[in-house]
């Protein structure tokens, strides 16, 4: 082996290796050197490896080669130039010491070099310093160029977040993945745990970006904290500590993001009183699903249908199995009784029908068949106030975004303390989210009115007479549709061993409204309807059979 020339080859980037030119050239000259010396040769190909690291942790081939140097196996070493071994001054110093100590002759295209010779050793040291300086300049130019591109809104490099793809160096929505991002956020908002979301993704055949069929908990958790979906992300340069705020297309609406952020804080394991609400795949249609809420903890009620046993609605927060991560105490809702599905459906349906039967406003809605003639319709003055509020919010939102950019600029210029400003920016970001959520609520109000109109178009098919609602043949699906149009939610409280209290909240003020003639002596002058309440409170035994 002492008559063998050991040829070490390496390039700094994968692209160079794929092109093959640099590695092939190094090997070609190494073989020519071996032929000139009249010896055999052995190739040590490191491939594409970075020269920026301070140690040999990313150079397994070179590490093995140096081990054979220590064992006295290697006497002749060929490299294209000394920076193929290392540009780092400390690492190169260690390699050079090993070569001198073991009397290894170093060969390059310019000839052989006896490292123990003082003049040769000096020249190699100077060349190494120049090589390291050149490497540092190149890395600095790359870093500054990258920061410039990021400031221009280009992607910082690497795979884009789930939900996005790269086009012209910028993030754009990936429409297929975008749907699943929204699916994950909406399920989390509606009470599903990360484990349940993970199961649903598996059932729907949704793969991760890397093609894994099963999502990890960490991947979903990270996705739920990703600011990209709000419309921005922060990039921090490791060397300078500078943080750049980059705008990108938002994938989710502000109210959804805000709801998830707030829920994540409530679900934090480190907080006392934390409770997780779980949902399950629903296989049975429940009349009151989505309407029942617990008056003790605020969570939704879910149904548990049994074919041969009594079926119950129960609070989704209430459980005797779940324990918090840092305590052995069970997380139990204050509600101490479930409620029978058949009995609860019966009481709620009869109460709602009774309210509608006695409501003058409901009859008026049926009579006119057009919501625009309702006495409780928003007046033009109210609509004008809403529009003024909307414009004010839009201006405030613009000012907040400009303030965020301004604070970040002051930090870069060294005019503001970075730590202090980070807190200010965080609060501004939260305010921005609140403003966007309120703007969305204003936009949603017009959508809600349109839904009410659609409901009115539907209800006139059934409401020629109120007895239609009492018809036993009135299907569960139609009853459910009517309730969802009439009722916004039903709060269930249990402070008694047998009875429950129900607070039914109607979408419109149908409860105890009154019919008032303009002139009781002359009914031809018309009438008005005095607005009633939107809530109906009652007590009932929801444990007995229907």
pLDDT, tens digit (0-9, with 9 covering 90-100), for 175-189: 999 999 999 999 998
Cα–Cα distance, 256 to 279 (Å, whole number): 18
Indicate if 396 and 516 belong to the same structural domain.
no
Q: What CA–CA distances, in Å, run from 353 to 52, 220, 346, 357, 463?
A: 77, 44, 11, 6, 11
Are 543 and 343 in contact by the 8 Å Cβ rule? The answer is yes
pLDDT confidence of residue 115: 63
As a whole number, mean pLDDT of residues 254-279 equals 64
- Range in 29-33, 165-169, 279-283, 495-499 with the lowest mean pLDDT: 279-283
Predicted confidence band of residue 165 (pLDDT cuts 50, 70, 90):
very high
* 442 and 508 housed in the same domain: no
Out of 459, 494, 515, a domain closes at 459
Q: Are 442 and 390 in contact (CB under 8 A)?
A: yes
pLDDT above 50 (res 146): yes
Residue 205 is encoded by which pair of tokens?
Answer: 């055949």
Half-sphere exposure of 265 (CA within 13 A, CB side): 5
- Percent helix / strand / coil, the chain, rounded to 5: 45, 15, 35
Task: Give residues with Cβ within 8 angstroms of 20, minimum separation 6.
Answer: none
> Is it the case that residue 323 has pLDDT exceeding 80?
no
d(CA 433, CA 429) in angstroms, rounded, equals 6
pLDDT of res. 485: 80
Burial class of residue 62 (count of CB atoms within 10 Å of its CB; 0-12, 13-18, 19+): buried
Three-state DSSP class for residue 185: helix
Closest CA to 229 of 198, 188, 268: 188
Give residue for tokens 């309120």: 438
For the cut 90, the answer to whether the pLDDT of residue 218 exceeds it is no
- Residues of the chain with pLDDT > 90: what percent? 13
Query: Which tokens is 137 given?
Result: 């300049």
Report whether 394 contacts 438 (CB < 8 A). no
Asked whether residue 507 carries a pLDDT value surpassing 80, the answer given is yes
- CATH for 165: 3.90.1750.20
104 and 74 Cβ atoms separated by less than 8 Å = yes
494 Rama sector, left if φ>0, alpha if ψ -120 to 50, beta otherwise? beta
Helix or strand or coil: residue 138? helix
Element (H, E) at 78: strand 76-78
Question: Of 230, 257, 284, which residue sits at a domain end?
Answer: 257
User: 321 in a domain, yes or no?
Assistant: yes
Cβ neighbours of residue 114 under 8 Å, at least 6 residues apart?
105, 120
Domain end residue (candidates: 412, 430, 459): 459
Look at the alpha carbons of 368, 374, 375, 381 in this order and tell me if their dihedral is positive or negative.
negative
Q: What is the 3-state secondary structure (H, E, C) of 518-540?
A: CCCCCHHHCEEEECCECEEEEEE
The pLDDT assigned to 177 comes to 92
**Does residue 263 belong to any structural domain of this protein?**
no
Per-residue pLDDT of 66-91, as tens digits, reads 888 888 899 899 988 777 777 666 67
In a domain, 500, yes or no: yes
Write the CATH number for 94: 3.40.50.1390
157 and 239 belong to one structural domain: yes
Residues 279 and 205 in one domain: no
List the alpha helices (DSSP H) in 311-417.
Answer: 341-358, 360-368, 380-412
Only one residue has tokens 């484990």, namely: 195
In a domain, 363, yes or no: no
Asked if 139 and 164 sit in the same domain, the reply is no
Inter-axis angle of helices 418-459 and 360-368, nearest 10: 70
What whole-number distance in Å separates Cα of residue 278 and Cα of residue 338? 16
Across 344-353, average pLDDT? 91
Binned at pLDDT 50, 70 and 90, residue 55 comes out as: low
| pLDDT at residue number 13 | 58
Q: Is 476 exposed, middle or buried (0-12, 13-18, 19+ CB in 10 A)?
A: exposed
Residue 338 lies in a domain: yes
Determine phi and psi for 500, rounding to 5 degrees. Answer: -115, 155
pLDDT at residue 217 greater than cutoff 90:
no
Shared domain for 345 and 481, answered yes or no, is: yes
In the predicted model, what is the mean pLDDT of the chain? 76
> Considering the domain boundaries, does residue 262 fall inside one?
no
State whether 11 and 105 are in the same domain. yes
Q: What's the average model confidence in pLDDT over 283-309?
A: 82
Q: What percent of the chain has pLDDT over 70?
A: 75
Where would I find the beta strands (DSSP E) of 200-344?
A: 232-236, 243-247, 292-294, 301-304, 312-315, 339-340
Place of tokens 């609860």: 344
Count of the separate structural domains present in the chain: 4
- pLDDT, mean of residues 351-358: 89
Q: Does residue 279 register a pLDDT over 60?
A: no
| CA-based R_g, the chain, Å | 37
Establish if 364 belongs to a structural domain.
no
Say whether both 63 and 144 belong to one domain.
yes
Nearest 5°: CA angle at 186, between 452 and 432?
Answer: 85
Does the pLDDT of residue 8 top 50, yes or no?
A: yes
- Residue 62 and residue 44 in contact, taking contact as beta carbons nearer than 8 Å: yes
Cα–Cα distance for residue pair 34/6, rounded to 1 Å: 9
Contact 29, 80 (CB under 8 A): yes
Residues 200, 79 share a domain = no
Owner of token pair 């410039």: 148
- Is residue 275 scored above 50 in pLDDT? no
Residues 37, 67 share a domain: yes
In a domain, 343, yes or no: yes
Domain of 522? 268-358+467-546
Q: Cβ distance 368 to 529 under 8 Å?
A: no
**Where is average pLDDT lowest: 50-54, 215-219, 467-471?**
50-54
Token pair of 6 as six digits = 């050991």
Predicted model pTM: 0.37
Query: Per-residue pLDDT for 269 more than 50?
Result: no
8 A C-beta contact, residue 345 and residue 303 = no
515 vs 502: which has the higher pLDDT: 502
Note the pLDDT tens digit of each residue in 395-413.
777 777 777 777 777 776 6
Q: Would you say 538 and 501 are in contact if contact means Cβ atoms under 8 Å apart?
A: yes
In this structure, the chain runs to a length of 546
Is the sign of the CA dihedral 292, 297, 303, 306 positive or negative? negative
Q: Are 30 and 100 part of one and the same domain?
A: yes
Residues 226, 290 share a domain: no
Tens digits of residue pLDDT in 468-506 = 677 777 888 888 888 888 898 999 998 766 788 999 999
Taking alpha carbons only, the member of 80, 93, 56 closest to residue 7 is 80
């Amino acid at each position: 082996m002492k008559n063998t020339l050991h040829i070490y080859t390496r390039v700094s980037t994968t692209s160079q290796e794929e092109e093959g030119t640099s590695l092939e050239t190094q090997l070609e000259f190494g073989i020519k050197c071996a032929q000139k010396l009249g010896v055999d040769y052995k190739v040590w190909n490191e491939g594409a490896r970075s020269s920026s690291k301070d140690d040999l942790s990313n150079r397994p081939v070179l590490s093995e080669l140096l081990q054979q140097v220590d064992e006295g196996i290697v006497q002749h070493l060929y490299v294209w130039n000394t920076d193929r071994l290392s540009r780092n001054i400390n690492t190169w110093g260690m390699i050079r010491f090993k070569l001198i100590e073991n009397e290894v002759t170093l060969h390059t295209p310019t000839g052989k070099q006896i490292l123990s010779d003082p003049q040769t050793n000096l020249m190699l040291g100077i060349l190494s310093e120049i090589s390291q300086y050149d490497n540092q300049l190149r890395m600095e130019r790359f870093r500054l160029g990258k920061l410039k591109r990021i400031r221009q809104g280009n992607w910082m490099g690497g795979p884009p977040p789930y939900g996005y793809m790269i086009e012209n160096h910028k993030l754009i929505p990936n429409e297929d993945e975008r749907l699943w991002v929204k699916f994950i956020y909406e399920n989390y908002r509606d009470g599903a745990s990360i484990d349940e979301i993970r199961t649903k993704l598996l059932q729907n055949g949704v793969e991760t970006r890397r093609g894994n069929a099963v999502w990890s908990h960490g991947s979903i958790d990270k996705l739920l904290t990703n600011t990209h979906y709000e419309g921005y992300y922060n990039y921090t340069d490791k060397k300078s500590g500078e943080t750049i705020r980059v705008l990108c297309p938002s994938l989710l609406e502000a109210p959804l993001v805000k709801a998830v952020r707030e829920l994540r804080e409530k679900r934090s394991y480190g907080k006392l009183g934390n409770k997780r609400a779980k949902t399950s795949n629903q296989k049975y249609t429940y009349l009151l699903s989505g309407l029942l809420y617990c008056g003790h903890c605020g969570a939704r009620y879910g149904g548990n249908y049994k074919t041969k046993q009594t079926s119950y609605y129960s609070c989704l927060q209430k459980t005797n199995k779940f324990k918090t991560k840092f305590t052995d105490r069970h997380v139990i809702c204050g509600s101490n009784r479930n409620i029978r599905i058949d009995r609860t459906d019966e009481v709620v349906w009869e109460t709602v029908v009774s309210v509608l039967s006695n409501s003058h406003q409901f009859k008026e809605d049926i009579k006119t068949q057009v919501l625009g003639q309702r006495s409780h319709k928003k007046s033009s003055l109210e609509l004008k106030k809403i529009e003024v509020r909307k414009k004010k919010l839009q201006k405030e939102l613009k000012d907040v975004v400009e303030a965020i950019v301004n604070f970040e600029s002051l930090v870069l210029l060294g005019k503001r303390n970075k730590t202090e400003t980070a807190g200010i920016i965080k609060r501004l970001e939260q305010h921005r989210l609140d403003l966007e959520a309120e703007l969305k609520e204003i936009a949603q109000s017009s959508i809600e009115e349109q839904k009410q109109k659609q409901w009115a178009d539907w209800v006139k098919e059934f409401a020629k007479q109120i007895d239609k609602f009492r018809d036993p043949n009135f299907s569960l699906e139609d009853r459910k549709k009517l309730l969802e149009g009439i009722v916004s939610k039903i709060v269930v409280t249990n402070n008694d061993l047998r009875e429950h209290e129900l607070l039914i909240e109607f979408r419109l003020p149908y409860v105890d409204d009154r019919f008032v003639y303009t002139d009781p002596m002359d009914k031809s002058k018309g009438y008005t309807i005095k607005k009633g309440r939107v809530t109906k409170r009652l007590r009932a035994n929801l444990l007995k059979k229907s």
